[in-house]
Structure 1
Amino acid sequence: MPSPQQARAQASAITSGKSVPRTQAAPASQLRALFDGPQLSPGQRRIAQYLIENLAEAAFLSVTELADRVGVSQPSVTRFAGAVGFSGYPALRERLQSLALAGLAGGPGPVEEDRGNELQAAVDAEIENLENLRRDLADPERVISVGRALSRSAPLTVLGLRISVSLAEYFAYAARRIHPDVRLVTHGGSVAYDALLQSREAGGTWVLAFSMPRHAQETLTAVRVARGAGLKVALVTDLALGPVADEADVTFATGTGSRLVFDSYAAPGIVCAALLQAMTDADPERTQARLEEYEQVADQHQFFLKD
């Protein structure tokens, strides 16, 4: 029987294409397509979000006025223009004005309808990430192989720093139900170095690391320390290429939702669940024994509410 997380992923895939059409030519849709490609910082995403939601007015603002409206500095607006492919803010404003005038010529209906579905568009983007991941998992052998290796590593270290902490904590929490020694590392620097070196000295062979944008320098350093200590690294990230991925032994790259100010992690969450399933399947007897023991303790101490 599929887990609740797997069922939700299947439901998302089934409903693909029923939300805001990806091919619509409304001005706000064109802006989303323009802003969706680059890796933008949270502050830059605030600018993008403001432009999408206030195109008719924002297209005619000066750089100073736009900075004041969004609550960022003027250099931030200039850097944003460069990040999305323009030579400067004047070039970006010219593009915004052409889209705004096209929207006015076409009437207010499509623009208003598109603006009202910004959250649906974010969900649409995550559905596309899930569909891409589904295609990637057509051959599950790599997940199975890494899950088996993680299951055998004792201790198993799970590393996630800064924004990646939430995924690492989720994985570690679940993995402790089926693995006897899971060590979670959520602080960088010397704290991470100590934990990684101790894990290797205790017999550990693998680290599962998470690196979500914006990618932290301390994650790269910790992965290098792990490799230098003799640990192998499996990496869950959004980019198949890059400094952190280059250091990993195995990389699972899948898209993150980047349409809102802060990323969402539907597809990386499924990768976590898939690796956990592979660990479960790698040693079914140990899994069953540990889950039964945990349920007895949970019942004894009333960890959970009765549904």
Structure 2
Amino acid sequence: MLAASQGGGKLVTASEPVTPTTSPVAGSSPTLPPADELLALLDGRRLSPAQRRIAHYLLENLTEVAFLSSMELAERVGVSQPSVTRFAATLGFSGYPELRAALRPIALRVPEAGLHGERLTGNELHAALESDQANLEALHKYAADPDRLARLGGDLAASEPLSVLGLRMSGPVASYFAYGAARIHPSVRVIDTPGSPAHEALLQASAAGGTWLVAFVLPRYAAESVVVLRTARELGIRTAVVTDVPLVPFKHLADVLLPVGVGSRSVFDSHAAPMAFAALLLQALADAAPERTQERLEAYEALADARGFYVSK
């Protein structure tokens, strides 16, 4: 769970550190139900989409996986054998044989009816939703100190143009924020292409008087995003970085770090909480310049009505 804290004038939250799960080899707990022990092994791990496919197959077919070779498991899941090896390493094992040895005692304790008498797929769906719910509840920490978010909204409102960065999987959340911001801010520039176009966009924004960049850098962190943040720092553009945890390797490039939990229980991350936070940030941006917001929204609605942007009832 996230908890609000002061951090050198930055809008930062502190998070309870994710404690690496002790591998069953080092200390399995036979008192735990097999399902809970297996989920604990996977919990808190940042897995790639291919690794999550392996994890889901493991959860559904534990008693089989515990006796498969790495090549056999790769064939069943539809991934490469090196992906299976990397999956074992990500869980803290020296290799797949050690992971398999750790899984066998758990598999032997699984009753014939299955884990908890039902397929683990259902449990994983519940776990994914519960993870999102916890991340959304953690956003109340920001709402509990609205003045700090309001100050950030004021800074963003005063930046003309206002740049918004979102690459790879972070793109949809950045696009949502930029779409809303463009309705209430006179100049919003989206940076969604890595490489030289991103750096040129920042240079042009700086020359035009832009002072802030809102960057969505969600896992897996795009290396190109970190390079863009570095360019922003060199150009004197301040950065408000929305990411998943406080301790990210690019923290030193953020003037304001905004950690928002990301759901990692599914094959692909869930951005339910980052999307909700983007809406809170839009609200702060709107409230910072209420007259301008009202004027621009009314102008947009008039245009939408005149041109039939939306289907009427």
Query: So what's the TM-score if we normalise by structure 2?
Result: 0.86
Name the SS for the 1:267 alignment partner. Answer: helix
**Contact 1:157/1:182 (CA < 8 Å) preserved in 2?**
yes
Alignment RMSD (CA, Å): 1.7
Pairing 1:62–2:69 present: yes
Q: How far, CA to CA, are the matches of 1:108 and 1:220 in structure 2? A: 45
Aligned residue number for residue 299 of structure 2: 293
Aligned residue number for residue 203 of structure 1: 209
**Contact 2:53/2:77 (CA < 8 Å) preserved in 1?**
yes
**Contact 2:60/2:120 (CA < 8 Å) preserved in 1?**
no
Q: How far, CA to CA, are the matches of 1:31 and 1:246 in structure 2? A: 36
Q: For residues 42-75 of structure 1, give each alpha carbon's deviation from its aligned partner in whole angstroms, at most 9, with x where no partner exists.
A: 1111111110111121111111111111122222
**Contact 1:28/1:55 (CA < 8 Å) preserved in 2?**
no
Amino acid in structure 1 at the alignment position of 2:52: R
Q: Could you tell me how far 1:121 is from its partner in structure 2?
A: 1.8
Q: How far, CA to CA, are the matches of 1:184 and 1:88 in structure 2? A: 43
Q: For residues 12-57 of structure 1, give each alpha carbon's deviation from its aligned partner in whole angstroms, at most 9, with x where no partner exists.
A: xxxxxxxxxxxx9543343223212121111111111110111121
Q: How far, CA to CA, are the matches of 1:72 and 1:109 in structure 2? A: 25
Uncovered stretches (5+) of structure 2, i.e. residues with no partner: 1-30
Q: Could you tell me how far 1:113 is from its partner in structure 2?
A: 5.0
Q: Could you tell me how far 1:305 is from its partner in structure 2?
A: 1.1
Aligned residue number for residue 100 of structure 1: 107
Match of 1:129 among 124, 131, 135: 135
Spell out the pairing of 1:82-161 with structure 2 (5 A cutoff). 82-104=89-111, 107-108=113-114, 110-112=116-118, 114-161=120-167
Aligned residue number for residue 242 of structure 1: 248
Amino acid in structure 2 at the alignment position of 1:198: Q
Pairing 1:275–2:294 present: no
Amino acid in structure 2 at the alignment position of 1:65: E
Q: How far, CA to CA, are the matches of 1:270 and 1:236 in structure 2? A: 12
Aligned residue number for residue 47 of structure 1: 54
Match of 1:186 among 192, 205, 216: 192
Amino acid in structure 2 at the alignment position of 1:127: Q
Distance 1:121 1:44, change over 3 A: same
Name the SS for the 1:128 alignment partner. Answer: helix
Q: How far, CA to CA, are the matches of 1:179 and 1:38 in structure 2? A: 39
**Contact 2:157/2:289 (CA < 8 Å) preserved in 1?**
yes
Aligned residue number for residue 262 of structure 1: 268
Q: For residues 63-116 of structure 1, give each alpha carbon's deviation from its aligned partner in whole angstroms, at most 9, with x where no partner exists.
A: 1111111122222211111101122212211222111111127x4361415432
Match of 1:226 among 223, 232, 252: 232
Q: Could you tell me how far 1:243 is from its partner in structure 2?
A: 2.5
Query: So what's the TM-score if we normalise by structure 1?
Result: 0.88
Aligned residue number for residue 11 of structure 2: none
**Contact 2:211/2:236 (CA < 8 Å) preserved in 1?**
yes
Name the SS for the 1:104 alignment partner. Answer: coil
Q: How far, CA to CA, are the matches of 1:26 and 1:234 in structure 2? A: 43
Q: For residues 106-132 of structure 1, give each alpha carbon's deviation from its aligned partner in whole angstroms, at most 9, with x where no partner exists.
A: x43614154323222211111111122
Moved more, 51-60 or 111-120: 111-120
Q: How far, CA to CA, are the matches of 2:115 and 2:235 in structure 1? A: 61
Q: How far, CA to CA, are the matches of 2:272 and 2:189 in structure 1? A: 24
Uncovered stretches (5+) of structure 1, i.e. residues with no partner: 1-23
Higher helix share: 1
Moved more, 28-37 or 269-278: 28-37
Structure 1's consecutive aligned runs of 4 or more residues displaced over 6 angstroms after TM superposition are none
Moved more, 53-62 or 163-172: 53-62
Identity %: 54
Amino acid in structure 1 at the alignment position of 2:194: G
Aligned residue number for residue 25 of structure 2: none
